[in-house]
Amino acid sequence: MCKSSEQHAFLAALPKVEHHIHLEGALSPELLFKLAEKNQIPLPTDDPSFASIESLKLRYTRFTCLDDFLNYYYICMNALITEDDFEMLAWDYFTRAKSDGVHHVEAFFDPQAHLSRGVAYATIVDGLNAARSRAESELGITSLLTSCYLRHLPVHESVATFKSPEVQEHYKNGSVIGVGLCSSENNPPTLWSEIFQEASSIGLKLTAHAGEEGPAEYLANALDHLGVTRIDHGIRLGLDHDPDLMKRVVDNNILLTVCPVSNVVLRCVPHISHVPIRKFIDAGVKFSVNSDDPAYFGAYILDCFCAVQETFDLSRKEWETITTNSIEHSWCSADRKSDLLDALSVVMNTHGARDITLN
Ligand code: HPA
Ligand SMILES: [Zn+2]
């Protein structure tokens, strides 16, 4: 919530596009316990955090770093087994997104984390697609899927997954339209260049996590070797001093999918005021504001918008620019972008387009 109800109403009404949401990161402790019981998946007994929904939620407020979070993230997704489970997971997210004013979603999922447990690719994608179709028809939310490759595993495992016939089939039939790179930033993006080159050659969209915990140099690396048009997180660009790289990101019209609450919860920055939002605005770096793993970080997209507003006191004009950039850098059709821009105009007209701060 924003302190001012007028500010809150404006941010709530903005037609949001979410570019950086890991659907597995929308697995709430409530759904985890339900699925673990249904599927007879035992939760760890050597970690008292798994004793109850409440103790798990408390643990989620105490992450020490990205790897500490990822440990829970990978354990919890073991409870996802059937097509219905994946549908429930995504539907949970879409219903919440609707109440936050989300109109379009470009979501990540982690195939390798499920295939390695014996869950078939079609089970994952069919479940997610069922929720996507329902979200479009019942909630008016359009969405696209990007499969993320896992950077903490040997690159040959990513290559084998990428090349497998069922994964290729879903790229070809358009169920999955993009390729991303996530997990611990312990390997440079360069190593995944073969996948990204092949993905580019078959027309897939390209993005990669870089400069979350890792150095700004990884952004340059992702641009040089992966050919991405978006960078996920990328905050080190505004924290490490590299004016040439900053200029390159601006000149190449790269969008950063920033996740300010995630950065605080995972201690990439000591406080949200250290997320370089103002620096990016002043330098002309385009970015969207996103939740990342909302069920773990206790903040869905509107919470993230409010946290940014409370800290940086942005003007309505600045929010209009952020929303416009988010829409224009989406991977949806030109017609859908035009609908989203129209929805933004309506909100700006209703709430007044005065270039003043909101308080
Ligand atoms: O914040 C993240 N960073 C890297 N990998 C991830 N996978 C899920 N969330 C994240
Ligand atoms: Zn992420």
Atom of ligand 1 nearest to the CA of 293: 9
Evaluate the CA torsion angle 259, 119, 152, 194 in order and state its sign. negative
What does the pLDDT look like over 289-330, one tens digit per residue? 999 999 999 999 999 999 999 999 999 999 999 999 999 999
CATH-assigned architecture of domain 19-345: Alpha-Beta Barrel (3.20)
Give the residue whose CA is nearest to atom 3 of ligand 1.
Answer: 183
The pLDDT score that the predictor gives to residue 185 is 85
Say which residues have a Cβ less than 8 Å from residue 273's Cβ, sequence separation at least 6.
311, 312
Whole-angstrom Cα distance, residue 35 to residue 127? 14
Q: How far is the CA of 61 from the centre of ligand 2 (A)?
A: 17
**Does the beta carbon of 66 lie inside 6 Å of ligand 1?**
yes
Using the structure block, give the residue that is written with the tokens 């798994």. Answer: 50
Give the residue whose CA is nearest to atom 10 of ligand 1.
Answer: 183
Q: Are strands 286-289 and 205-210 parallel, antiparallel or unpaired?
A: unpaired
Pair of tokens at residue 333: 């059709």
With contact defined as beta carbons under 8 Å apart, do 117 and 39 qualify?
no
* pLDDT, mean of each 10-residue run, the chain (359 residues): 90 98 98 98 98 98 98 98 98 98 98 98 98 98 98 97 98 97 91 97 98 95 97 97 96 98 98 98 98 98 98 97 98 98 97 55
With contact defined as beta carbons under 8 Å apart, do 57 and 143 qualify?
no
Q: How open is the CA angle 296-304-266, to the nearest 5 degrees?
A: 45
Q: How open is the CA angle 90-109-342, to the nearest 5 degrees?
A: 65
Say which residues have a Cβ less than 8 Å from residue 250's Cβ, sequence separation at least 6.
283, 284, 285, 286
**Does the beta carbon of 213 lie inside 6 Å of ligand 1?**
no
Catalytic center residues:
212
For 338, list phi and psi in degrees, rounded to 5.
-65, -40
Please choose, from the candidates 232, 177, 238, the residue with its C-alpha nearest in 3D space to the C-alpha of residue 207: 232
Whole-angstrom Cα distance, residue 116 to residue 357? 50
Q: Which residues are annotated as a binding site for Zn(2+)?
A: 20, 22, 209, 292
The interface predicted TM-score (ipTM) is 0.95
The pLDDT score that the predictor gives to residue 39 is 98
Sequence letter at residue 72: Y
Say which residues have a Cβ less than 8 Å from residue 138's Cβ, sequence separation at least 6.
none
Per-residue DSSP letters for 46-77? S-GGGG-HHHHHHHHTT--SHHHHHHHHHHHG
Q: How far is the CA of 291 from the centre of ligand 2 (A)?
A: 8
Segment 36-39 long-range contacts (CB within 8 Å, at least 24 positions apart): 36/79, 39/79, 39/81, 39/82, 39/85
Q: Which residues are annotated as a binding site?
A: 20, 22, 209, 292-293
The pLDDT score that the predictor gives to residue 353 is 55
Pair of tokens at residue 141: 């939310």
Give the residue whose CA is nearest to atom 1 of ligand 1.
Answer: 292
The domain limits of the chain are: 19-345
**Does the beta carbon of 114 lie inside 6 Å of ligand 1?**
no
Task: Write the Ramachandran bin of 313: left for phi over 0, alpha for psi from -120 to 50, otherwise beta.
Answer: left
Say which residues have a Cβ less than 8 Å from residue 32's Cβ, sequence separation at least 6.
43, 56, 76, 79
Give the residue whose CA is nearest to atom 7 of ligand 1.
Answer: 183
Pair of tokens at residue 115: 């295939």
Side-chain-side CA neighbours of 84 within 13 Å: the count stands at 5
